[in-house]
Amino acid sequence: MIACSSALRTFRNIAGFCAVASSQQEFSRLLRPCIKGTRRFFSSPGHMEVVEGEADKTMIREGKAVLAAGVATDKVFYNPVQEFNRDLSCLVLSAFLDRFKIRLEEKQAKKQARRAENGNPNSEFPPFRARVLDAMAATGLRSCRYALQSPLVAEVVANDSDETACQAIRLNAEANNCADKVIVTHQDARRLMINSGFDEQWFHAVDLDPFGSASPFVEGALQCVADGGLLMATCTDTAILCGNFAEACYARYGATAVRNPAHHEISLRIVLYYLANRAMHHNKNIEPLISVREGHYVRVFLAVHRGAQEAKQVVMKASYMKNCTVCHNIQLQPICEPHKTAFYNASLSGGSTCDICGTVMKIGGPIWNANIHDNAFVTILLSNLDKDSSQYGTKDLLRGKLTMIQEELPDQPFYIQSKDIFKVVHCLPIPSRNFFSALHHAGYKYSPTHCELDSIKTNAPFDVVWDIIRCWVKQNPIAENRRSEPKIARILGPEPKIQANFTLHPDADFGSRKNKMLRFPTAGVKGPMARPKRLPWERSPPSTEDDTDAEVKKAKLDGNNGA
């Protein structure tokens, strides 16, 4: 049993301290006397702070919220690695609600004008009060941060199907003085969302952050999100999304991944395709605002709009992929092409074998082939972060990621991963700046990708990329026995059609790289944590060995097996 009264007392003390503490140091100074045997760990100024005291009284501060992890140590899921995810979510939610309010008020002003014309000028609209659903709230830390850090949020429904988690959320909401805004519900998230949709209790933002795939919850989320509202979804089953278990990927997302070094962006595009596809069934369409791959998960933020006509356009934003597993050549195969006012089935593009190495191409997809970010929205996020970064512990990583996302070429769905492409022919890697310079001199665009270190997006066709590598191999020959291998001979055999110039160009590098921004997490950041443990009497034992095997396999597929 949880020691509710003592824990609650401790939280109230902390909440009081939060109200009067003007800085992190002040907060720690005030907190210290009330906990015996206090130890403190600071990862960096303004970063997550962990304060340990007596057993079961460990408190964590993140953003403007305090979490009593002592309640949650082995029963409720809390993952400190996800701080970046929560910081980004708070930043996006605030910016999105500002945008939503402006657009709503513009619509209301037009309605008001029409009413005035009809002789009813005095009717007023109620002020905008945002409702947010945190469908899998776990400890409630994210819900509390939404309530505290987004001024337009009037109510956060923090739901969890686990009773222990619900107790933790209530206590954490009390500790943060936001119990009036954080409404705790204890039910299956799918039932809650579908019932809310039926009752027209719309949410202006819905957050899905489950273990594994968000796909089982998407149907409900699409039904309860307001017109133009925000849907945030995380998927941690990256093993499936990155090209393993094709049948499992198709079962969850209606698409298959391919084995290609650009798998992280492909996984984002599969999730977006799935969301667009499900939205289409409800005569809705999606507007991706920002899509992020980080660590063990992908997370997408998108606005959901009603509109049957726009929903039909989804077919033009989806494509299959043709992938060569030998030289990493990957091409899009559209599903439809426009013809006057209708859409016709698209013709097959190219042959069934790879132009570079002659290998039979593999098919995958469909994937989302349109923009995955809204650059104007990302600019607002960066601006808001610069205005007040004190509530974001991972602000340096946030700034680096958002800058990289701004730099990405918007119309290139894939990228080349340096460490993989040079391995194909076993040549010396081309130093990054020389590779950028060769593309620059040849007149092509290129950019980094936030998905992967040492990777590059470019509008240069794949045969041009291989021509550059062929020129490099002429200057830096590979071993003769390697060169005689059939697949390498096929790739390096043709004479390059361009003469690559590897001379360093002063403008060849990207801003985020030149300015040495923190673009990827530093070493030591690990993947997902284990699922929350249940107490022995809460856990029903597997009836057979097969059940145990099935549980282990599912945990691996969902990406939650790492502690």
Q: Which is nearer to Zn ion, 189 or 354 (CB)?
A: 354
Q: Which of residues 210-239 bind Zn ion (CB under 5 A)?
A: none
**Least distance CB 359 / Zn ion (angstroms):** 5
Sheet strands side by side (includes 362-368): 330-334, 318-323, 362-368
**Least distance CB 262 / Zn ion (angstroms):** 14
Indicate which single residue of 65, 144, 248, 354 sits in contact with Zn ion (rule: CB under 5 A): 354
Q: Binding segment for Zn ion among 60-68, 321-329, 464-472, 530-538 (CB under 5 A)?
A: 321-329
| Distance (Å, whole) CA 173 – CA 160 | 14
| Distance (Å, whole) CA 280 – CA 274 | 10
Q: Binding segment for Zn ion among 15-23, 277-285, 322-330, 402-410 (CB under 5 A)?
A: 322-330
Structure tokens at 4: 């509710």
Q: Binding segment for Zn ion among 64-72, 274-282, 324-332, 477-485 (CB under 5 A)?
A: 324-332
Q: Binding segment for Zn ion among 76-84, 217-225, 327-335, 499-507 (CB under 5 A)?
A: 327-335
326 membership: H or E segment, kind and range: none
**Least distance CB 439 / Zn ion (angstroms):** 20
371 membership: H or E segment, kind and range: none
**Sign, Cα dihedral of 126, 128, 133, 137:** negative
DSSP-derived secondary structure for 403-463: HHHHHS-TT----EEHHHHHHHTTPPPPPHHHHHHHHHHTT--EE--TTSTTEEEESS-HH
Q: What is the dihedral of CA 231, 150, 372, 251, to 10 degrees?
A: -30
**Least distance CB 473 / Zn ion (angstroms):** 16
Structure tokens at 29: 């100074």
Q: Which is nearer to Zn ion, 174 or 355 (CB)?
A: 355
| Distance (Å, whole) CA 193 – CA 51 | 36
* Of 58, 218, 203, residue with least CA distance to 139: 58
**Least distance CB 454 / Zn ion (angstroms):** 21
Q: Which of residues 13-42 bind Zn ion (CB under 5 A)?
A: none
Q: Which is nearer to Zn ion, 86 or 362 (CB)?
A: 362
Q: Which is nearer to Zn ion, 326 or 346 (CB)?
A: 326
324 binds Zn ion (CB under 5 A): yes
104 binds Zn ion (CB under 5 A): no
Indicate which single residue of 300, 304, 327, 385 sits in contact with Zn ion (rule: CB under 5 A): 327
Question: Can you tell me whether residue 361 is helix, strand or coil?
Answer: coil
Q: Which is nearer to Zn ion, 92 or 416 (CB)?
A: 416
**Least distance CB 490 / Zn ion (angstroms):** 8
Q: Binding segment for Zn ion among 57-65, 68-76, 319-327, 455-463 (CB under 5 A)?
A: 319-327
Q: Which is nearer to Zn ion, 490 or 556 (CB)?
A: 490
| Distance (Å, whole) CA 17 – CA 10 | 11
* Residue position matching structure tokens 């996800």: 82
- Total residues binding Zn ion (CB under 5 A): 8
* CB contact at 8 A, 303 and 290: no
Q: Which is nearer to Zn ion, 216 or 351 (CB)?
A: 351
**Least distance CB 325 / Zn ion (angstroms):** 8
CA 221, chain centre distance (Å): 17
**Least distance CB 446 / Zn ion (angstroms):** 21
Q: Which is nearer to Zn ion, 192 or 324 (CB)?
A: 324
| Distance (Å, whole) CA 198 – CA 219 | 13
| Distance (Å, whole) CA 259 – CA 239 | 11
357 phi/psi in degrees, rounded to 5? -125, -5
356 binds Zn ion (CB under 5 A): yes
* CB contact at 8 A, 26 and 77: no
99 phi/psi in degrees, rounded to 5? -65, -40
Q: Binding segment for Zn ion among 115-123, 218-226, 316-324, 340-348 (CB under 5 A)?
A: 316-324
**Least distance CB 467 / Zn ion (angstroms):** 14
| Distance (Å, whole) CA 339 – CA 179 | 56
Q: Binding segment for Zn ion among 175-183, 196-204, 350-358, 470-478 (CB under 5 A)?
A: 350-358
326 binds Zn ion (CB under 5 A): yes
357 binds Zn ion (CB under 5 A): yes
Q: Binding segment for Zn ion among 187-195, 284-292, 349-357, 368-376 (CB under 5 A)?
A: 349-357
**Least distance CB 368 / Zn ion (angstroms):** 24
* CB contact at 8 A, 396 and 437: no
Q: Which residues bind Zn ion (CB under 5 A)?
A: 324, 326-327, 329, 354, 356-357, 359
